[in-house]
Structures are given as C-alpha cells and as structure tokens.
Amino acid sequence: MNIEELREYCLRHPLVEEGFPFGPDTLVFKVKGKIFLLTGLDNDPLQFNVKCDPEKAEALREQHSCVLPGYHMNKKHWNTVVVDGSVPNRLLKEWITDSYNLVAKIKK
C-alpha cells in the first residue's frame, strides 16, 4: 500500500473528509468531524495512526511487529502501523475500516 492507495481507500468510506489541520506534512482523515486516520507525508516507509479497541490494540502489537503504540496519540486507543510489507493490504484495510467504524460509531 502506498499513500495514494491509502488515501483512495479512506475516501471510499461515507462522510469522510481529508485535510491538513496540523500542517502541510500530516494528512488527516475525519468522519463526523473526528479523526480516524492520520499519516505523515514524509514517512518512508509509509506509516499511519488508526484508532483501535484497547484490547485489540495490544493484541495487534503483540502479533505484528509493524504495529506500535500510537505515535503522538493516546497509546491505549491508537496504533501506529508501519507499512513495511509484513502484513497484507487486506489487514491494513481491515484496521483502517475498524478505526473508521469506531469513530463513526458504526457497528459490524
């Protein structure tokens, strides 16, 4: 997954807005005025922060070396995902959708 694929996937979700509230280097995606994903445009490899259920957040960190406590975020509720090729895009998209659903309060 690259930055354009990430952006396109985020924008597929209903009511999503993108912007740069923290400056020109940090792309933010919101639903209902609340952030569900943010990413630095200068990161190599790509990495992004997503909201996560606290128990699942810890489990993902234990299972995947590319999942870290949320950088500059509440580490209980946010993960930083480094897109290093160690997990398939399918999982990355699942984690993005989970974050979107948590913020939008959409139940599965």
Question: pLDDT by residue for the chain (108 residues), tens digit each?
Answer: 999 999 999 999 999 999 999 999 999 999 999 999 999 999 999 999 999 999 999 999 999 999 999 888 888 899 999 999 999 999 999 999 999 999 998 765
Q: How many Å separate Cα 69 from the centre of its chain?
A: 12
Claim: this prediction has a pTM higher than 0.85: yes
For domain 3-104, give the fold: Aspartate Aminotransferase, domain 1 (3.90.1150)
- Amino acid identity at 40: G
- Is 71:49 a contact under the CB 8 Å cutoff? yes
Using alpha carbons, select from 92, 99, 95, 78 the residue that is nearest to residue 36.
99
Instruction: List the domain boundaries for the chain.
Output: 3-104
Q: How far apart are CA 11 and CA 32, in angstroms?
A: 13
